[in-house]
């Protein structure tokens, strides 16, 4: 009987640990920045996107031809995480606590921007479920323009291996999934602070596993 009770307890713990994991999470890499505990109520009902609109940000000079632009911002509700913003390909976007919203400014540059690629724009993204009065852009140090939501610059995370994942949630205690109103989504916070993944191998960095990174 005692052995049966221990088995039930272990099984219950495993369910709790994976209840907030992104789609496709199999628990194989326990050191990755997978969300493992819910810190807020889990929204379950889907939110109908608002009507599409175009951001009324000032038109910028044409970006370099090799720059990947974010063509759409899509606000929606997903299982477990709740309210999120994705790009046109379904990649979840994040905001950085070391940035500022008033005035808008990005402090993620160089190696940081290789791990957290900024969502760049030509000034005319298509919006669905994100109010056009929340969306604008800010000029980065390299002259490109980055989308902002409520003043906060937004980014992707290379640690997300497929659309819909949110492995960047709470990385370094400073990165969070951004909501359509620009606020931090504080659902699915991990029990310990995860580290960022290392920059791409072709970046010239000799570090691995995000060790020592402050972003």
Q: What is the DSSP string of 124-154?
A: --EEESS-GGGEEEEE-TTS-EEEEETTEE-
Looking at residue 73, the DSSP 8-state letter turns out to be E
Residue 212 lies in a domain: no
88 found inside a domain: yes
| pLDDT > 50? residue 186 | yes
What is the enclosing helix (H) or strand (E) of 5?
helix 2-18
Task: Give me the chain's average pLDDT, please.
Answer: 78
Tokens 């620009």 belong to which residue? 182
In a domain, 213, yes or no: no
Q: Is the pLDDT of residue 197 over 80?
A: yes
Question: In degrees, to the nearest 5, what angle opens at C-alpha 200 toward C-alphas 195 and 201?
Answer: 115
Please report whether residue 46 resides in a domain.
Answer: yes
Domain that holds residue 173: 1-200
Least confident of 1-10, 16-25, 75-84, 199-208: 1-10
User: pLDDT value at position 23?
Assistant: 53
On whether residue 65 sits in a domain, the answer given is: yes
Domain-located, residue 206: no
pLDDT at 203: 62
Find out whether 155 and 196 touch, Cβ atoms under 8 Å. Answer: no
Domain assignment present for 129: yes
Judged against a pLDDT cut of 50, whether residue 113 lies above it is answered with: yes
Binned at pLDDT 50, 70 and 90, residue 158 comes out as very high
> What's the total number of domains in the chain?
1
Question: Using 50, 70 and 90 to split pLDDT, how confident is the model at 30?
Answer: very low
């Amino acid at each position: 009987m005692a052995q049966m009770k221990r088995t039930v307890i272990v099984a219950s713990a495993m369910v709790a640990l994976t209840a907030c994991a992104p789609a496709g999470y199999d628990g194989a890499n326990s050191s990755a920045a997978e969300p493992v505990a819910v810190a807020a109520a889990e929204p379950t009902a889907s939110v109908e996107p608002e009507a599409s609109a175009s951001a009324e940000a000032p038109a910028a000079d044409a970006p370099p031809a090799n720059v990947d632009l974010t063509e759409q911002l899509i606000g929606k509700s997903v299982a477990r995480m709740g309210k999120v913003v994705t790009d046109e390909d379904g990649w979840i976007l994040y905001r950085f606590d070391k940035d500022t919203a008033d005035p808008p400014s990005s402090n993620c540059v160089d190696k940081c921007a290789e791990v957290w690629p900024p969502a760049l724009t030509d000034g005319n993204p298509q919006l669905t479920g994100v109010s056009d009065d929340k969306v604008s852009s800010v000029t980065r140090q390299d002259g490109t323009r980055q989308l902002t939501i409520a003043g906060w610059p937004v980014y992707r995370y290379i640690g997300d291996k497929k659309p819909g994942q949110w492995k960047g949630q709470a990385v370094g205690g400073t990165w969070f999934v951004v909501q359509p109103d620009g606020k931090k989504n504080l659902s699915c916070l991990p029990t310990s602070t995860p580290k960022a993944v290392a920059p791409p191998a072709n970046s010239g960095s000799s570090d691995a596993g995000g060790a020592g990174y402050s972003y």
